[in-house]
Amino acid sequence: MGNDYLDGLDRAHLVHPVVSWSEHERRGATILESGNGAYLRDSEGREHLDGFSGLWCVNIGYGHDSVVEAAARQMRQLPYATGYFHYASEPSIRFAEAIAQRTPGDLDHVYFTLGGSDAVDSAVRFIRYYHNVTGAPQRKHFIALERGYHGSTSIGSGLTALPVFHDNFDGPSPFQHHIPSPYPYRNPAGPSEEAIIAESVRALRAAIERLGAENVAAFFCEPIQGSGGIIVPPRGWLKAMHQVCREYGVLLVVDEVITGFGRTGPLFALEDEGVVPDLMTMAKGLTSGYAPLGAVVLGERVYRGIADNAPAGKPVGHGFTYSGHPVSCAVGLEVLRLYEEGGLLANGQRVGAYFQQRLAELVDHPLVGEARGRGLLGALELVTDKEHKTKPDPSLRLADRLLALARERGLIFRAFADDILGFAPPLCCSNEDIDLLIERLSSTLDAALDEPDIHAALRHRPQ
């Protein structure tokens, strides 16, 4: 009775993100009640292994009492402090310093947001302001990658290059442009890492020169593309793109919203490339999802460009009511302690290597064309013909059916729109948790293969 009542209220009143509204009215919600470690329990008492860390965010796992206590202490002492009018709170100051100490190079200036989408939006606004006050007001164009994801605000959704975020939203805007994803599995340049990097460099150069280098404000990219299908560029790709940006005087923004805080191994994925971008965005693992928080971190060039060239005494007109929220920052400080002193970052590195090993074993399954990833970030790309890399016919609704089959087996992962399965287990996982994830995933794939229409599709070979 209670669960049915809540489900009815949900259908009637709660608008969910990125779903078909009419389908949700028919289907209803799976109501989650509790979590511990890598596991969730729903309102019907079923346990689920969360192979996606909520929404790539609960990196430390569920149920850490020390984080709850940090939030409660701050709520009792000072639940809110504005950052306007030169006010601040101790947690926001200390957390900004902690982030600046850990970001590379001169990325020392932290503006707090509520999540990744508004961090990207803030980065765009700061970039526009910077160019306007430093004598380059014509730099209005932004370049990003196809299959990239940079949030769903009015500005960020245009940098995002996934059709569902553009359809009927009038995006992208004329000043937003996209170049092809490196996408090694399906890159026209072939499988050679050098050729893939060379093609991305060529495409970025061509886009900048077509627009006019003097007109391009910034290039946005993820070190590993997340919502576009967990696309892992060859090592050296990010460094090469950075070099092109420097050559043309274009700002580089690295979006670490998904990849940050141990998801790929190091604290930030860009550490593998030794790149220091001009701006960097982060969220999700920043607080491990225990409280809303995001950030854009500015390098010295952009920060000083704004600070030293803004009209004297005039405020820089960008701000959020909850920027630097003391409770969220207190949570972030404790989550950071758990990553480092608590050993979760090191555990994620050990278990991440094991996860990649176990995930790769599934490439032999008839439905799997490629297994890929880095650290505790992985994907399976589904095909019905391995030799030709044939995508499943949309009429099969393969990814959606796999989600349902996995739910029956107590496993949560993400199915992307073009038949790619995504995984992002928490950093607290043990090898045994990974074994269970792979066991349930393998069982899910086998169950799909037993479906007559799916099995029949595998026998079809295009001529």
DSSP string, 102-140: HSSTT--EEEEESSHHHHHHHHHHHHHHHHHHTT-TT--
State how far the Cα of 290 lies from the Cα of 314, in Å rounded to an integer. Answer: 36
Return the number of other C-beta atoms located less than 10 Å from residue 286's C-beta: 32
- CB of 338 within 8 A of CB of 347? no
The radius of gyration of the chain's CA atoms, rounded to the nearest angstrom, is 22
In sequence order, the 6+-apart residues with CB closer than 8 A to the CB of 313 are none
pLDDT value at residue 417: 83
- CB of 286 within 8 A of CB of 122? no
In sequence order, the 6+-apart residues with CB closer than 8 A to the CB of 227 are 149, 160, 162, 258, 416
- CB of 223 within 8 A of CB of 254? yes
Angle between helices 90-102 and 326-340 (to 10 degrees): 40
- CB of 326 within 8 A of CB of 93? no
Angle at 143 between CA 423 and CA 114, to 5 degrees: 55
The widest CA-to-CA distance across the chain, in whole angstroms, is 71
Among residues 36, 20, 9, 51, which one has the least CA distance to residue 412?
51
Helices and strands of the chain, counted as H and E runs = 15, 15
Structure token digits, residue 281: 């965005």
Among residues 284, 307, 282, which one has the least CA distance to residue 297?
282
Which residue type does 331 have?
V
Strands 411-412 and 47-50: parallel
State how far the Cα of 361 lies from the Cα of 21, in Å rounded to an integer. Answer: 37
Place of tokens 């030293």: 308
State how far the Cα of 236 lies from the Cα of 128, in Å rounded to an integer. Answer: 29
Structure token digits, residue 331: 């949570």
pLDDT value at residue 459: 64
State how far the Cα of 28 lies from the Cα of 299, in Å rounded to an integer. Answer: 45
- CB of 79 within 8 A of CB of 331? no
- CB of 165 within 8 A of CB of 182? no
**What are the backbone dihedrals phi and psi of residue 298, each rounded to the nearest 5 degrees, phi first?**
-105, 135
Among residues 381, 367, 369, which one has the least CA distance to residue 423?
381
- CA dihedral 145→148→149→153, nearest 10 degrees, is 40
The pLDDT profile of the chain, 463 residues, written as one tens digit per residue, is 478 999 999 999 999 999 999 999 999 999 999 999 999 999 999 999 999 999 999 999 999 999 999 999 999 999 999 999 999 999 999 999 999 999 999 999 999 999 999 999 999 999 999 999 999 999 999 999 999 999 999 999 999 999 999 999 999 999 999 999 999 999 999 999 999 999 999 999 999 999 999 999 999 999 999 999 999 999 999 999 999 999 999 999 999 999 999 999 999 999 999 999 999 999 999 999 999 999 999 999 999 999 999 999 999 999 999 999 999 999 999 999 999 999 999 999 999 999 999 999 999 999 999 999 999 999 999 999 999 999 999 999 999 999 999 999 999 999 998 999 999 999 999 999 999 999 999 999 999 999 999 999 986 544 4
